[in-house]
């Protein structure tokens, strides 16, 4: 086989793998954003006037970085995320921790702004930090 043919196969293979990875990442991001805990966290931030004033409307939410597995984690009863948030005045990170108890999510949200080094406690549910053993008693 000619070297030019091998180069073409390698090039098209690399493009195929790159597009496939991008597509899968988009599908994973979409699935995460459709989870009740994500949409509830977004709504809680949108109701916090002081944080919105600091960020500046409109606010956009970035994608989750699943390569940071210790930071961004989701299973059937626990979530922990760092969601990039960008407004017209400021950018930051929305730290979300949550625990599902029975059929509802209990969340704790904190917004950390990059430029001003300010941190806002957006919402805190005490059940968010409770362990399963404590919840059963």
71 & 125 share domain: yes
Structure confidence at residue 137 (pLDDT): 30
Q: Supply the range of the domain harboring residue 107.
A: 36-136
Structure confidence at residue 131 (pLDDT): 53
Q: How many domains does the chain have?
A: 2
Structure confidence at residue 38 (pLDDT): 87
Best CA proximity match to 109, nearest among 126, 97, 119: 97
* 3-state SS, residue 12: helix
40 & 28 share domain: no
30 & 97 share domain: no
43 & 25 share domain: no
* 3-state SS, residue 48: coil
* 3-state SS, residue 76: coil
Count CB-CB contacts under 10 A for residue 12. 10
30 & 41 share domain: no
CATH of the domain at 101: 3.10.450
As given in the structure block, the two tokens for residue 19 are 């597009």
**Mean pLDDT for each 10-residue chunk of the chain (137 residues)?**
84 92 86 84 91 91 79 83 92 91 87 86 76 39
Structure confidence at residue 36 (pLDDT): 83
87 & 111 share domain: yes
17 & 74 share domain: no
Structure confidence at residue 129 (pLDDT): 65
Structure confidence at residue 89 (pLDDT): 92
70 & 125 share domain: yes
81 & 111 share domain: yes
* Cα–Cα dist 78/73, whole Å: 8
């Amino acid at each position: 086989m000619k070297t030019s043919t091998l180069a073409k196969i390698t090039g098209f293979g690399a493009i195929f793998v790159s597009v496939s990875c991008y597509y899968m990442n988009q599908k994973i991001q979409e699935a995460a954003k459709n989870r009740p805990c994500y949409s509830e966290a977004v709504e809680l931030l949108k109701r916090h006037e002081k944080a919105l004033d600091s960020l500046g409307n409109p606010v956009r939410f970035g994608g989750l970085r699943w390569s940071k597995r210790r930071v961004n984690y989701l299973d059937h009863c626990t979530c922990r995320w760092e969601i990039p948030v960008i407004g017209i005045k400021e950018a930051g990170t929305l730290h979300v921790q949550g625990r599902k108890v029975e059929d509802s999510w209990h969340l704790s949200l904190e917004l950390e702004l990059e430029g001003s080094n300010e941190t806002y406690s957006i919402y805190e549910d005490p059940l968010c930090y409770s362990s399963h053993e404590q919840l059963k008693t």
